[in-house]
Amino acid sequence: MTEIGLSLSARAALPPAEYARFARLAEEAGFTAVFATETSSDALPLAQAMVHQTSSIAVGTAITNIYWRHPALMAVGAGTLWQLSGGRFRLGLGTANPGLNHDQLGLPPSPPLATMREYVEVVRAVATGNPVNYQGNVYRVNGFTAALGAAPGLPVYVAAMLPRMLEVAGAVADGVILNFVGPATAAQSVTRVREAARRAGRDPSSVKVVCILPCALSDDPAASAAAARGVVAGYARHPAAGKLFAASPLGNTDLAEVARVAGEKGPAAAADLVDDVLANDLVITGKVADRVQRYREAGVDLPVLFPVAVRGDWVGSIEAALAAQASL
């Protein structure tokens, strides 16, 4: 079966029942996976709602923030979902961003690469259901045993954008979640993940490559293009934007200027500074089937459509993404 996924943004701020309804519609439309995101929200309850409204589609998080939960708690929560879903749940982990974790929430900083590696190891250990004794540099567990939520088959995916986290994913995870990359960058990321898996003595093909594909879909091409430029303007504020977009065609986009204006006035104000050639490389606005095929050719195992609001309309964009499945 050709795999295709759908990710539903928490930024849409829909009632939980709506996320569950869209998950059911995705299953009926032929999607093979649906993911909940986490933005000032909790992806695990949203995923649970999706599990209860579906019967065959894989349900996952893309992503849930590792700094918000101890890995033992994450393991038993994810394991419970794995059991409830009959093995359909996939745990996607990420580090979110320092602005949220440290500036807004005051969480203590810890090195993201070492933290992620140890986090995955503890989650895996707890998921076995056996007593866990783990002594790492970041996490220590002394004799903890999961009373509920054992899930020895739980797939654990790691979200990665930059080279060193891609290597961590290849070394320790069941899958990697790429996000906001053009096809050329996706191909480079796949190569790095596979090489890291090989160096770790793993079968490189055993690491599933998931790629989140932002989609600004509507019946108004100009509105879709404007939404795509706005999405890029928001990501331009990422401190590693230059590295993230290195393999993408910039056109006349000055990333530093876009980031400056977006930081001072918001992404919408900086959107017109983004060249359409860059926006079209990173955000799907039309011809979904052609774009998805390019990512598959780049080595992506599971392309995941991620609807973004067009003219503030989240529901319409989600419905357009659901309809696009017929062409895939």
Domain ranges of the chain: 5-217+284-327, 220-283
What is the C-alpha to C-alpha distance for residues 118 and 279, in angstroms, rounded to an integer? 36
What is the C-alpha to C-alpha distance for residues 114 and 97, in angstroms, rounded to an integer? 16
pLDDT at residue 91, as a whole number: 98
Beta-carbon contacts of 33 under 8 Å, excluding residues fewer than 6 positions away, are: 3, 4, 5, 6, 57, 58, 59, 60, 90, 302, 304
Report, in angstroms and rounded to the nearest whole number, the Rg of the chain calculated over CA atoms.
19
Peptide bond into 63 cis (omega under 30): yes
What is the C-alpha to C-alpha distance for residues 14 and 318, in angstroms, rounded to an integer? 12
pLDDT at residue 107, as a whole number: 84
Tens digit of pLDDT per residue, the chain (328 long)?
Answer: 689 999 999 999 999 999 999 999 999 999 999 999 998 899 999 999 999 999 999 999 999 999 999 999 999 999 999 999 999 999 999 998 777 777 888 888 889 999 999 999 999 999 999 999 999 999 999 999 999 889 999 999 999 999 999 999 999 999 999 999 999 999 999 999 999 999 999 999 999 999 999 999 999 999 999 999 999 999 998 878 888 888 999 999 999 999 999 989 999 999 999 999 999 999 999 899 999 999 999 999 999 999 999 999 999 999 999 999 988 8
- 140-149 burial, b for 16+ CB within 10 Å, e for fewer? ebeebebeeb
Angle at alpha carbon of residue 171, lines to 169 and 176, rounded to 5°: 25
Q: Return the residue matching tokens 């995923």.
A: 47
pLDDT of 73-132, one tens digit each?
Answer: 999 999 999 999 999 999 999 998 777 777 888 888 889 999 999 999 999 999 999 999
Whether the Cβ atoms of residue 174 and residue 191 lie closer than 8 Å to each other: no
Beta-carbon contacts of 213 under 8 Å, excluding residues fewer than 6 positions away, are: 284, 291, 292, 295, 303, 304, 305, 306
Report the CATH superfamily, name and number, of domain 5-217+284-327: Luciferase-like domain (3.20.20.30)
pLDDT at residue 1, as a whole number: 67
- Does the CA dihedral 28-29-31-37 come out positive or negative? negative
Structure tokens belonging to residue 289 = 């089937």
Whether the Cβ atoms of residue 293 and residue 284 lie closer than 8 Å to each other: no
What is the C-alpha to C-alpha distance for residues 309 and 321, in angstroms, rounded to an integer? 11
Name beta bridge partners: 58. 33
